[in-house]
Copies of this chain bind each other. A is one copy, B any other.
């Protein structure tokens, strides 16, 4: 494991204590608390830790977390530099198995705990991945390319293009599926972008992430990776999809259409939800089960059309009561090329915004309306405000998600600046982002306590 800094993974209170004791990762230290004394090697930590514990590799071979308080004393006894590598498993290319190409975007795909040292070793090359997650070798041949390494919150349209480029090249060279490990924060924006840029897809393109770091016992990383690779290698889907936990246990994974999925929880493993529709399918017990029939099917000799013309000068604005006109005026004055509104209810906004929105459209800045309710169609013909907005030329985005509409306007503006053509494209379903109706079971359902009381 590469240790990038001397106290990797430690922060806050515990870091201050370690700094004061002048120790670093791999130092042999003695930690004395009011209750006990421990001797061992200070191990690096990965994400998700608190700032109250350090991890010690004891002589017995066990790792323990020691809670540090003001009364704890830390003393360096020596230093034992770590030299860790994941054992690489050479797996011969099997021409009978499908080949999946993995595009790395940053973050840990998989990792393995080294039992000798207790260190967490990130795995990336096919050999490392096969060693960390042996199940993968049974499914497919694997090739990998670490395209870049960023936090998913720093993803930009430029990175979307890089991913689409690589995916298209590999698909057109004959791989059977693409898998893209991705930070979860903005995974649904990227899946939307790829859905628009990879036209006439012939194989699955699967985004996958983990809500829990792969070194934690509760991690969803391995199961998500195995399920996603299975979908990429063997499913008959030829769409951009997101494959993540379907429940908070390790029960099954869902396959979500890339343009209709959203991260709906900050921490649960089943954070990703298909909104206003039902997922395409699920993966359970090593088996892919399709829930729907209306998805694009895999083709043997298809060639994907790469279309990466984007214009990222677009803003996504959620409206709120009391919102002032200056927010929109600023976008016009800053020469934005397009505005997506996430309005209230059926597609409304405060009347204070009518004038600046009219000015935006008069200056050829398209304005398109979605709903911050997230579920349901907008209906701008129903009430006066909606009709006023239609009258000034606001584009009604049907049941497109705000985030998807943002990505789509970037895509559409890359192709045309003609206001009529933009309007037409925005209300036309290009990649599953607009549906004709929302099924009853596409809405969130109450359960548990409420149902119990209701039936009492």
Which residues from chain A sit less than 8 Å from chain B, CB to CB?
11-12, 47-48, 50-51, 151-157, 183-186, 189-190, 246-248, 251-252, 254, 263-268, 270-271, 273, 278-279, 281-282, 284, 289, 291, 312, 315-323, 326-327, 330, 334, 342-351, 371, 373-379, 381-385, 387, 402-403, 406, 410, 439-441, 443-450, 453-454, 456
B268 touches A351 (CB 8 A): no
A266 touches B373 (CB 8 A): yes
- Cα distance A246–B447 in the bound complex, in angstroms: 11
B185 touches A344 (CB 8 A): yes
Q: List B contacts of A327 (CB < 8 A).
A: 315, 330
B453 touches A448 (CB 8 A): no
Q: List B contacts of A157 (CB < 8 A).
A: 321-322
- Cα distance A344–B342 in the bound complex, in angstroms: 16
Q: List B contacts of A270 (CB < 8 A).
A: 443
Q: List B contacts of A381 (CB < 8 A).
A: 11-12, 50-51
| Number of copies of chain A assembled together | 2
Q: List B contacts of A263 (CB < 8 A).
A: 344-345, 373
**With known contacts A252-B454, A322-B312, A441-B450, A371–B266 Cβ distance under 8 A:** yes
- Cα distance A144–B271 in the bound complex, in angstroms: 44
B406 touches A266 (CB 8 A): no
Closest CB of chain B to A287's CB: distance in Å?
10
Q: List B contacts of A439 (CB < 8 A).
A: 448-449
Among B268, B384, B440, contact of A375 (Cβ-Cβ < 8 Å):
B268
B153 touches A385 (CB 8 A): yes
Among B183, B267, B350, B454, contact of A154 (Cβ-Cβ < 8 Å):
B350
B443 touches A445 (CB 8 A): no
B375 touches A265 (CB 8 A): yes
Q: List B contacts of A448 (CB < 8 A).
A: 278, 439-441, 445
Among B267, B321, B330, B384, contact of A186 (Cβ-Cβ < 8 Å):
B321
**With known contacts A344-B185, A381-B12, A450-B278, A155–B321 Cβ distance under 8 A:** yes
What 7 A-B pairs come out closest when comparing CB atoms? A441-B448, A266-B376, A444-B444, A185-B344, A185-B345, A153-B348, A265-B375
Given contacts A151-B348, A266-B376, A440-B448, 20 further A-B contacts (CB under 8 A): A11-B387, A12-B381, A47-B382, A154-B321, A156-B321, A156-B350, A183-B345, A186-B321, A247-B446, A252-B454, A263-B373, A265-B376, A267-B377, A270-B443, A289-B454, A317-B318, A320-B406, A326-B334, A330-B330, A330-B334
A151 touches B440 (CB 8 A): no
- Cα distance A189–B321 in the bound complex, in angstroms: 8
Which residue of the partner chain B has the closest CB to A11? B387
B450 touches A447 (CB 8 A): no
B450 touches A153 (CB 8 A): no
- Cα distance A406–B372 in the bound complex, in angstroms: 15
Q: List B contacts of A316 (CB < 8 A).
A: 318, 320, 323
